[in-house]
Amino acid sequence: MGTIRLPALSMDGDYVIGGVLSIHHYMHTVKHNYTTMPEPLRCTGSIDSRELRFAQAMIFAIEEINNSTELLPGIKLGYQIYDSCASVPVAVHVAFQLSSGMDPVFYTGDKCSQSGLVMGVIGESGSTPSISISRIIGSFNIPQVSHFATCACLSDKQQYPTFFRTIPSDQFQADALAKLVKHFGWTWIGAVRSDSDYGNNGMASFLDAAHKEGICVEYSEAFYRTHPHSRIRRVADIIRRSTAMVVVAFAPSGDMRILLKELSLKPSPPRQWIGSESWVTDPDMRRFSFCAGAIGFGIEKSVIPGLRDFLLDLSPSTVAASPVLTEFWEDAFNCRLGKSTAIDKNVCDGTEDKQMLEKSPYTDTSQLRITNMAYKAVYAIAHAIHNAVCQETNSTTQCDKFTKTEPREVLTQLKKVHFSQNGYDVSFDANGDPVAKYELVNWQKTESGSIELVTVGHYDASLPAGQEFSINRKLTWVEGGTQVPVSVCTDSCPPGTRKVLQKGKPICCYDCKPCPEGEISNVTDSPDCFPCPKEFWPNAERDTCLPKPVEFLSFNEVLGIILAVFSVGGACLTVITAAVFYHHRKSPIVRANNSELSFLLLFSLTLCFLCSITFIGPPSEWSCMLRHTAFGITFVLCMSCVLGKTIVVLMAFKATLPGSNVMKWFGPPHQRMTVVFFTFIQVLICTIWLVLSPPFPMKNLTTYKERIILECALGSAIGFWAVLGYIGLLAVFCFVLAVLARKLPDNFNEAKLITFSMLIFCAVWITFIPAYVSSPGKFTVAVEIFAILASSFGLILCIFAPKCFIILFKPEKNTKKHLMNKNQS
């Protein structure tokens, strides 16, 4: 660019270490007219005391090395430290100047001396200038060791083969920040970054890690300190309007300072700040009190013995020899070095009280983090030079300062260095990165109202997965709170619900929908509900599965008790009827229609009433087989007796015809054989049913979703309907015969009674079929019992009630004459 740039701080030596730092944060902007030579690039703005401390730490380390008898004995290291103004053009200018090997201070003009050759470069503090510097000096194999450039992109050895750093890559910090956000349950965050390589690459790594952790970002905005004020204000307004409580900021302190200044102009809702190392550990940033409670990761705090005294050891002559130190001195004491002018009569005379510097970030050694990185970077290059020019002989170290050493040799040795300085290990992996170790720091307010940086935990990337992160101290949150703030797009879905994503929004924004019927979710924020096992059903909250209640017709419920009472009552009524008949067994009305069949019919009716009890209670293997077969056989026995009595009525009137001997063919033995024959057929049907496919107990899980029905499966539906069909066939046959005999002349024609009983019987069982098929659960059993009881009561009431009435209340009609009087109504 036509000019040689002078270093801010320099000293000659046998080997020179270069340094590039952002001592100023701005470069003077010049408009080019392309008619005259442009002005030299120059820095503007105030001095960054922190960066100046980095430079002084480098000088302090070099002086320690020059005074050491173990490291580079007999060798004097020099330095050339440049101010890049945090500007890429200036950094490029300095890089070319360092690469040329022509020391602007010590260049004689006729030859390039060894003192002008730079063995390595320390810096830059920012990632973007470091990238520019590395691309240039890397072509000359000059090693570069940065103390503060953390962009993960610089780990690419294909592009930056000579780049090393003593600070971990942002990839580790991004992963740590994502795990930190996840640890506190924040799933809805805002993100701001510097529009630079540091901010863009760091935020990209963080967003990728956050996505893997299930964290959603409401907004991600970029800004830079040279952007128009309107753009900075727009980013601030987005932060104010957002719903995310937590804001992750990946930016250097110079850029972050601009944004926080804008936010401080207008009150905004409380925000929990999560900061990257670059700004969260900067003491100057803690003047923004509304960021109290901020947390982030910082390089481990360290101690450099003697550094504080060195920082305060500024003599007037030393200050006057350096334009940078002169500017710092004048700013610190508000005076001017040199002669007084009419405008400013306050002249620095060298007697200024250095104790005034106690409160300056320049002398703050209580939180030495990045300063130690610069300190270790110097020692790393020194060890590399030592290994290149020194030899161990007879337990002594000899170094030849006249040996011409190329930066390439220092680069080779730098890859191998592994040493400990003040208890801190220094080494580089294949990518030129150190082991990643961080402290979790928290901005906490003191009783005086100031903010101090407190270490509350640690992060060590070398530990096994899941063990890297630890918190060992209580944190203070935004606005001094002690409870972890909540930052979610949607409140967590409680158990019993599932997450349903809101259309067009990130996965962290969802609605909570109750689980469908039969399904549960037993964890918070469940993405899906899952069905209960077959024999279980959700509780009312649908967050756990409970055993389904088992349902069957029980003796303990009202319906079961009522049916049991009617069953027992019917049996008792039948026994009483039998007792009445037995007591009057010789009376005409009992003897009129074969008393033997009457007693057999009463016995079968008793069994019909009692068999209905087998349908009540929990089904078992034996009860299932017994209930259907007993019911089928007893009813056929009953129908056989009724059929026999009907046939007897018909035969009795046929026998009154002249010359008829019908009764000879249907006497008592034949009646008994008829009953046995018809009953045997039903027994045979039931036997085949039980042998081939008997009824069995089963759990019905389909009729009701929320409960289990214990019931008897038919086994073979054909067998069941064959039993019912046979009963129905006998009933119809009996009904037809009774209808034919109903008008035969007699005062007490039993065929009429049988007709009525069969009408009731058939009506009951015809209505039973649709009711049985359509009744659910235990009501199926209740319908079957009702049909048994109704038909049984129909038979006993229609056939035996009129006879009992005459026996007990109308004994005058219980005579043969009355029964045979055909003309009496």
164's tokens:
């090393």
**Each residue's pLDDT tens digit, 381-428:** 999 999 999 988 877 888 888 778 889 999 999 999 999 988 888 999
Residue 670 CB neighbours (<10 A): 16
694's tokens:
């008997």
- What's the pLDDT score for residue 659? 52
Q: Are the beta carbons of 391 and 72 closer than 8 angstroms?
A: no
pLDDT along the chain (825 residues), means of 10: 80 93 82 78 84 95 94 93 91 91 49 66 92 94 94 93 94 92 93 93 94 93 92 95 95 92 90 93 90 93 91 84 88 78 66 77 86 96 94 84 86 94 90 93 91 92 85 90 91 91 88 92 91 90 91 88 92 91 81 76 88 87 86 86 77 57 62 85 90 88 84 86 87 80 58 76 77 75 86 84 83 70 47
Backbone angle region of 432, left / alpha / beta, with phi > 0 → left and psi within -120 to 50 → alpha = left
Residue 796, judged by CB atoms within 10 A of its CB (0-12, 13-18, 19+), counts as buried
Q: How far apart are CA 258 and CA 241, in angstroms?
A: 19
- What's the pLDDT score for residue 430? 93
Backbone Cα Rg of the chain: 53
Q: Are the beta carbons of 760 and 537 closer than 8 angstroms?
A: no
Q: How far apart are CA 308 and CA 328, in angstroms?
A: 17
**Each residue's pLDDT tens digit, 435-471:** 899 999 999 998 888 899 999 999 998 888 888 888 9
- What's the pLDDT score for residue 745? 56
Q: How far apart are CA 710 and CA 701, in angstroms?
A: 9
Structure letter (DSSP) for residue 4: P
Distances (CA, A) of 505 to 218, 310, 387, 472, 589: 9, 57, 58, 37, 92
